[in-house]
Amino acid sequence: MIASKRQAARFSLAVVKMFRRIPFEKVNWSTSSFLIGTFLITLTLVPAYIWYFGIDWFQITLFLVMLGVCGFSITLGYHRLASHLAFQAHWSVWLFTLIFGAAAFENSVLLWACEHRLHHKHVDHEPDPYDIREGLFQAHIGWLLFKLKPSPPFDNVADLQKRPLVMWQHRYVQWIGAFVAFVLPAGIGYAWGGWKASLGAFLIAGVARVVVLQHCTFCINSLCHYIGKQPYSSKCSARDSWVTALVTFGEGYHNYHHEFPYDYRNGVKPWQFDPTKWLIWVLSKVRLANNLRRTPSRKILLAQLTASDPKPEVNIPVGPVREFSAG
């Protein structure tokens, strides 16, 4: 009995010490409340709904459709189109990715691109918003939960600020996101099967989908700098991994991406899983995308050779060897 009381006291003391270490004055309360709240709903109310009402093909299909359109809006729209200008797109592609990208609740494309360009410019250094050197948790979600660094000044996204659609989304991103992420699935569910289907669509295709997609995206900032190989460069922590590519819509070939950020492909090899690359290619064939930027093959090969032998021997060419005889 005494031993158990001592263990309980030690545990309580450890919890108190842990909470004392949390910088509550730097907590981003609005973002933290949303991230933690949606996560808890996914862990509690979603299983409760499935337990009481079950789940059918409609709920699964709606979840996958919303996951796909919102996910590609981030990888294709926010990332490769807006942040890196890896290709040019028709205004309808911009509008679609801005609307459904807002439903990912990863901020506006203006802020997203601003922080991402900072990440590439200062990767693994102090200004990097999600610096992996500060730990896996910090790079994954901690940088969102806590305001440890000053807000970006938007001085690196002047090109995006000239786009009316981008600025419209930036002003109303939360309203657009709430409608598309929650109201739209609930409305589709109600039209399909009444209030039960509506509630299920809200919880599964809405809340749970937001949580799943967010953590898939967060893996790009954390796991893609933590696991995998570095076949193109060891100058930064970015790594290539087919495992992370599976959960990030092809963004897992991160070492290649950091070496050649303006290439519309992340998985440059034909067999590498990069559905975002394939979708951009399809859009180009139906004339909704053009000027797809590709890194020349010789430059890719040179990067691979340099990465495999970072300090190659320098062979200095010399003339033919002459024989001398003593005269």
| Per-residue model confidence (pLDDT) at position 274 | 97
Q: Report the pLDDT averaged over residues 99-116.
A: 97
State the amino acid at position 194 in one-letter form.
G
Interatomic CA distance for residues 188 and 197, integer angstroms: 9
Q: Check pLDDT > 50 for residue 214.
A: yes
Dump the DSSP string for 236-264: SS--B-HHHHHHTTTTTBHHHHHHSTT-S
Interatomic CA distance for residues 128 and 221, integer angstroms: 11
Q: How confident is the model at residue 9 (pLDDT cuts 50, 70, 90)?
A: low
**Residue 289: helix, strand or coil by DSSP?**
strand
| Per-residue model confidence (pLDDT) at position 310 | 54
Interatomic CA distance for residues 62 and 50, integer angstroms: 15
State the amino acid at position 33 in one-letter form.
S
| Per-residue model confidence (pLDDT) at position 311 | 53
Interatomic CA distance for residues 102 and 134, integer angstroms: 28
Q: Check pLDDT > 50 for residue 317.
A: no
Consecutive H or E run containing 47: helix 29-53
| Per-residue model confidence (pLDDT) at position 115 | 95
| Per-residue model confidence (pLDDT) at position 326 | 36
Q: Report the pLDDT averaged over residues 19-38.
A: 83
Residues facing 252 on adjacent strands: none
Interatomic CA distance for residues 13 and 5, integer angstroms: 12
Q: Percentage of the chain with pLDDT > 90?
A: 82
| CA-wise closest residue to 249 among 110, 35, 80 | 80
Q: How confident is the model at residue 150 (pLDDT cuts 50, 70, 90)?
A: confident
pLDDT tens track for 114-136: 999 999 999 999 889 999 999 99
pTM, whole model, 2 decimals? Answer: 0.87
Torsion angles phi and psi, residue 88, rounded to 5: -110, 150
| Residue 276 structure tokens | 């975002």
User: In this structure, are residues 87 and 291 in contact, taking their beta carbons and an 8 Å threshold?
Assistant: yes
Which residue's structure tokens are 């730990």?
135
Q: How confident is the model at residue 25 (pLDDT cuts 50, 70, 90)?
A: confident
Residues facing 14 on adjacent strands: none
Mean pLDDT of the chain: 89
Q: HSE (CB half, 13 Å, CA atoms) of 158?
A: 2
Interatomic CA distance for residues 165 and 308, integer angstroms: 44
| CA-wise closest residue to 204 among 88, 30, 53, 319 | 53
Q: Check pLDDT > 80 for residue 20.
A: no
Domain boundaries, the chain: 24-230
Length of the chain: 327
